[in-house]
Amino acid sequence: MNNVKKISRAVAESEAQAIFVTSDQNRYYATGFASSAGELIICGDGSAALFIDARYFEDASRSIREVEVLCSNDKPVYEMMNDYFKAHNVQKLAVEEGSLSYAAYTRLQGKLEPEFVAGQNILRDLRAVKSPEEMDFLIGAQRIADKAFENTLKLITPDITERELAAELTCQMLRLGAQDKSFDPIVVSGALSSVPHGKPRDVKLQRGFLTMDFGALYMGYCSDTTRTVAIGEPTPEMVKVYNTVLEAQTTAIAAARAGLTGAELDGVARKVIAEAGYGEYFTHSLSHGVGIDIHEYPNCSPKSENVLKAGNLISMEPGIYIPERFGVRIEDVILLREDGCFDLTELPKDLLVFCA
């Protein structure tokens, strides 16, 4: 994977002559090379340079295309960078203002000669529209997570704890080829299912709903899935709540397409839940972008003014959470198209019931 040319074209259309890529995630997006260090400069004239220390120099030199790789052990790195800026007439430098700490930002201002301008959205907007290559990685991550969940369902018994089930789910993903989990799994049961981001406990599965939110990391890209099942026979109200969340999700997926605002799509799901009498219990947004990070741009919330684009990959995760009683969330990931969407998640959504 290499997006240097794409980034260079975006820089050429901005007020800056170059962008300074500092976050690990954006360096990976640009070069396809994963490292915990390195200063990447991409210019609007098509040139690019990665200043990286001796730990990564050999591997980066062999792996990265379309980028001059320079060893930052040779002389002070900021001197090398300033020489590069002068050679390419960089007067204004776009920086990742949203991911730099204040201390790092002020330190860099004191070391680098070009004027700093905001550049976070250059990379944010590019990353929001997925390429075919990225989609291959994202689908691969989703297939791993789907299969891992199917395998983990076979392990649900009254004697397993939430923490043990979370560990089994993670192990399943690793066995199936994931680099890692894309976030710590949420596995919560009983009354704690009303907490959207509850943490697994050392307690056996509690009667009521069991919510499992999980994802696999594959080739640097994340999946994100939530399924809710019942431990013991559900009450009529539990069934009603589950079916309301499912209807909200399927209705929103059917409506999803490029051209809607985030607020409009969020409103489709929110209307279903409100009309069923549970509006106050849908306490988070419908959607967020998914990619190299588990939470990316764009998002769909009641306040989202962003217009969704073809190629955006977003979660679809309505939920109802009744405090100290139970909660339900169902989450798929979809790719937006001009005329609709493609659902990457292949897991069924019928309410599964396990013995208590």
Tens digits of residue pLDDT in 177-203: 999 999 999 999 999 999 999 999 999
Average of pLDDT values for 272-281?
98
Share of the chain above pLDDT 70, in %: 100
Average of pLDDT values for 142-154?
98
Same domain, 145 and 275: yes
The last residue of a domain, from among 81, 110, 127: 127
Same domain, 203 and 252: yes
Average pLDDT, the chain: 97
pLDDT of 113 reads 97
Judged against a pLDDT cut of 90, whether residue 107 lies above it is answered with yes
Average of pLDDT values for 24-37?
96
Same domain, 119 and 174: no
- The phi, psi pair for 218, rounded to 5°, reads -140, 125
Average of pLDDT values for 9-23?
97
Looking at the DSSP bridge assignments, the partners of residue 289 are: 296, 314
**Pairing between strand 353-354 and 225-231?**
parallel
Give Cβ neighbours of residue 195 (< 8 Å, ≥ 6 apart). Answer: 188, 321, 327
Q: How confident is the model at residue 261 (pLDDT cuts 50, 70, 90)?
A: very high
Same domain, 64 and 147: no
Q: What is the rounded distance in angstroms from the CA atom of residue 141 to the CA atom of residue 333?
A: 11
Same domain, 29 and 168: no
Share of the chain above pLDDT 90, in %: 98
The last residue of a domain, from among 127, 160, 190: 127
Sheet of 221-222: strands edge to edge?
Answer: 180-181, 216-218, 221-222
Per residue in 211-255, pLDDT tens?
Answer: 999 999 999 999 999 999 999 999 999 999 999 999 999 999 999
Q: What is the rounded distance in angstroms from the CA atom of residue 256 to the CA atom of residue 230?
A: 29
Please list the alpha-helical segments (H only) found in the chain. 4-12, 24-31, 54-63, 77-87, 102-111, 120-128, 132-153, 162-175, 236-255, 262-275
Question: What are the CA-CA distances from residue 339 to residues 126, 127, 259, 271, 336 (Å)?
Answer: 21, 21, 9, 22, 8
Q: What is the rounded distance in angstroms from the CA atom of residue 6 to the CA atom of residue 28?
A: 14
Same domain, 275 and 140: yes
Q: How confident is the model at residue 34 (pLDDT cuts 50, 70, 90)?
A: very high
pLDDT of 135 reads 98
- Residue 320 has a CB neighbour count (10 Å cut-off) of 24
Average of pLDDT values for 279-303?
98
Q: What is the rounded distance in angstroms from the CA atom of residue 310 to the CA atom of residue 312?
A: 6
> Residue 230: which domain range?
132-354
Same domain, 93 and 156: no
Count of domains for the chain:
2
DSSP 56-125: HHHHHHHH-SSSEEEETTSS-HHHHHHHHHHHTT--EEEE-TTTS-HHHHHHHHHH--SEEEE-HHHHHH
Q: Which helix (H) or strand (E) holds 178?
A: none
Both tokens assigned to 77: 């790195």
Both tokens assigned to 43: 């210019």
Q: With contact defined as beta carbons under 8 Å apart, do 187 and 227 qualify?
A: no
pTM: 0.96
Judged against a pLDDT cut of 90, whether residue 356 lies above it is answered with no
Q: How confident is the model at residue 137 (pLDDT cuts 50, 70, 90)?
A: very high
Q: What is the rounded distance in angstroms from the CA atom of residue 234 to the CA atom of residue 204?
A: 18
We report the CATH number of the domain holding residue 104 as: 3.40.350.10
Judged against a pLDDT cut of 90, whether residue 75 lies above it is answered with no
Same domain, 182 and 310: yes
We report the CATH number of the domain holding residue 299 as: 3.90.230.10
Q: With contact defined as beta carbons under 8 Å apart, do 352 and 239 qualify?
A: no
Q: With contact defined as beta carbons under 8 Å apart, do 275 and 227 qualify?
A: no
